[in-house]
């Protein structure tokens, strides 16, 4: 059993607390905006805890400021983080556990899948064979990634969306909830449909 602190104290962090605290001892949250009894410091206070051998798990999962999320995560050494894979997740192959990646229950990670650092995969996602998910990328609830897909770094794939076989999504993209990606999405884009692609001002 490890001692952990969670980055963020929002709704996703509270969900993560319920899952992680079954297997480890969660001491509290670090958050710059929320203040309650379980928030034990600001995000920049992380070193006070990691110097005591306490590990960090991230619950930063919003699409609204992905660049800021990446900056916050990069300010903390990667070896301070732990990955968390729910025991209700089906993972075909062994994954590197030192990448700060979180996978929520009922997701499926198929064979020959590559996950980058600080990936965040919500409930009920499927990542099919031979696909690659880039660093800092978030898959929201019930995303389906078909075989042979490449998703770049720091992208957000919205709830219920589907990325069809052999498609690609560039860096710093947002795919709208419920969308179906059928080809290539250029970097720094918001993808609503193949005929509705806009610049990503959230990047």
Q: Is residue 74 part of a domain?
A: no
Give bridge partners of residue 162 from the DSSP assignment: 144, 180
The fraction of the chain above a pLDDT of 70, given in percent, is 99
Nearby residues of 73 by Cβ (< 8 Å), 6 or more positions away: 7, 58, 60, 100, 118, 136
**100 and 144 co-located in one domain:** yes
**193 and 96 co-located in one domain:** yes
40: left (phi over 0), alpha (psi -120 to 50) or beta: alpha
Residue 25 has pLDDT above 70, yes or no: yes
Residue 77 has pLDDT above 70, yes or no: yes
**32 and 104 co-located in one domain:** no
pLDDT in tens, 114-152: 999 999 999 999 999 999 999 999 999 999 999 999 999
Q: Give the residue-averaged pLDDT of 173-197.
A: 97
- Asked if 100 and 118 touch (Cβ cutoff 8 Å), the reply is yes
What DSSP line would sit under 26-83, residue for residue?
EEEEE-SS--STTEEE-GGGHHHHHTTT-EEEE----STTHHHHHHHHHTS-GGGB--
Q: Is residue 64 part of a domain?
A: no
Q: Give the residue-averaged pLDDT of 71-100.
A: 91
* pLDDT score at 63: 85
Q: Is residue 55 part of a domain?
A: yes
Domain membership of residue 15 as a residue range: 3-59
pLDDT in tens, 37-61: 799 999 999 999 999 999 999 999 8
**55 and 127 co-located in one domain:** no
Query: How confident is residue 62, by pLDDT bands cut at 50, 70 and 90?
Result: confident
Residue 181 has pLDDT above 90, yes or no: yes
* pLDDT score at 203: 66
Q: Single out the residue in 23, 40, 59 at which a domain terminates.
A: 59
Q: Is residue 66 part of a domain?
A: no
Q: In this structure, what CATH number is given to the domain that contains residue 149?
A: 2.160.10.10
Q: Give the residue-averaged pLDDT of 85-110.
A: 92
**Coil/strand/helix, residue 158:** coil
Mean confidence (pLDDT) of the chain: 94
21-25, 58-62, 93-97: range with lowest mean pLDDT: 93-97
**49 and 91 co-located in one domain:** no
Q: Is residue 162 part of a domain?
A: yes
- What pTM did the predictor assign? 0.95
Number of domains in the chain: 2
Strand pairing of 189-193 and 196-199?
Answer: antiparallel
Q: Is residue 34 part of a domain?
A: yes
**51 and 96 co-located in one domain:** no
Q: Is residue 76 part of a domain?
A: no
């Amino acid at each position: 059993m490890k001692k952990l602190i969670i980055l963020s104290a929002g709704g996703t962090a509270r969900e993560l607390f319920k899952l992680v605290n079954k297997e480890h001892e969660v001491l509290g949250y670090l958050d710059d905006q929320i203040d309650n009894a379980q928030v034990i410091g600001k995000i920049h206070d992380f070193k006070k805890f990691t110097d005591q051998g306490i590990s960090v798990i991230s619950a930063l999962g919003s699409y609204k400021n992905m660049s800021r999320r990446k900056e916050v995560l990069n300010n903390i050494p990667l070896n301070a983080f732990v990955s968390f894979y729910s025991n209700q997740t089906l993972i075909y192959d062994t994954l590197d556990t030192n990448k700060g990646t979180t996978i929520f229950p009922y997701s499926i990670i198929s064979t020959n899948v590559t996950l980058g650092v600080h990936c965040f995969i919500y409930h009920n996602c499927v990542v099919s064979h031979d696909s690659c998910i880039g660093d800092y990328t978030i898959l929201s609830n019930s995303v389906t990634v078909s075989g042979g897909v490449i998703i770049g770094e720091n992208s957000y794939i919205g709830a219920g969306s589907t990325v069809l076989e052999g498609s690609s999504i560039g860096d710093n993209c947002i795919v709208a909830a419920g969308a179906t990606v059928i080809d290539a999405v250029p970097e720094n884009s918001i993808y609503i449909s193949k005929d509705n692609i806009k610049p990503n001002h959230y990047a």
